[in-house]
Amino acid sequence: MSGSDYSFSTFSKNEFYSQLNARLVDMAEVGSDLRVVDLACGTGGVTRLILERITRTRDTVVIALDHSQTALKAAMEDLKDISDNAVRYVQSGVENVSEAVKDSVDTIVFCNAIHYLPDKDKVVHDIGAALRTGGKFAFNTSFYEGGQHEESSAFYTKWMFKAFRILRKEYGLKPNKAAKVESRRQLTPEEY
């Protein structure tokens, strides 16, 4: 199983996930006549939510940015029914957003991916450099200290051990015990 075989596409179409991200997009007040970045856009689920809130595309630019060319191709395919020339697809890591978007933007939306970043401060600083003065940065994550009930800890531990067994048995992979998975290193809401 390679990294290109794995996708969040099915999960991103989950009704709860879509509703949660729609709320974030609404809180960011995304609309027409803006330059908006969907950072780590994946297969375009949030890009679709942004496009659904735009009534005029003449002076609107939506930049769907992701590191995965495969995900961007899937987003282009999935959005062809509502997307016109208002969407620019950009392949880049989130660490280089200010360089990748070139001109300043009004809003950056970053849904459920910030917890993957090893140097969140550096990326947030770069996001600030990409935003125009007074621009908005909206993000969400469920991976923060206190984000899961303590009672669910045993479930997640068993789930991870089962995943490790499958990876070892079926793919010959072994976890690097010295490396801490970034998404499991949880910050407090204040640290975010």
Q: Does residue 25 fall inside a structural domain?
A: yes
Query: 84 and 170: one domain?
Result: no
Query: 156 and 136: one domain?
Result: no
pLDDT in tens, 63-76: 999 999 999 999 99
Range of the domain at 172: 152-184
Query: 66 and 104: one domain?
Result: yes
Q: Does residue 191 fall inside a structural domain?
A: no
Query: 96 and 167: one domain?
Result: no
Number of CB atoms found within 10 A of residue 87's CB = 24
Q: Which of 22, 25, 19, 16 is nearest to 108 (CA)?
A: 25
Q: Does residue 190 fall inside a structural domain?
A: no
Query: 19 and 89: one domain?
Result: yes
Query: 70 and 101: one domain?
Result: yes
Q: Does residue 189 fall inside a structural domain?
A: no
Q: How far apart are the C-alpha atoms of 104 and 79, rounded to whole Å? A: 24
Please say if the pLDDT value at position 85 is more than 70.
no
pLDDT in tens, 95-133: 999 999 999 999 999 998 888 888 889 999 999 999 999
Please say if the pLDDT value at position 2 is more than 50.
no
Model confidence, pTM? 0.78
**CATH number of the domain residue 112 falls in:** 3.40.50.150
How far CA 163 is from CA of 76, 125, 158, in Å, comes to 31, 35, 9
Which residues, 6 or more positions from 148, have their beta carbon under 8 angstroms from its beta carbon? 142, 156
Query: 159 and 136: one domain?
Result: no
Q: Does residue 45 fall inside a structural domain?
A: yes
More confident residue, 62 or 189: 62
Alpha helical stretches, state H, 53-187: 69-79, 97-101, 120-130, 153-171
Query: 20 and 99: one domain?
Result: yes
Our count of domains for the chain comes to 2
Query: 77 and 125: one domain?
Result: yes
Query: 116 and 24: one domain?
Result: yes
| Rounded mean pLDDT, 142-153 | 72
Task: Give the pLDDT band (50/70/90) at residue 32.
Answer: confident
Query: 128 and 163: one domain?
Result: no
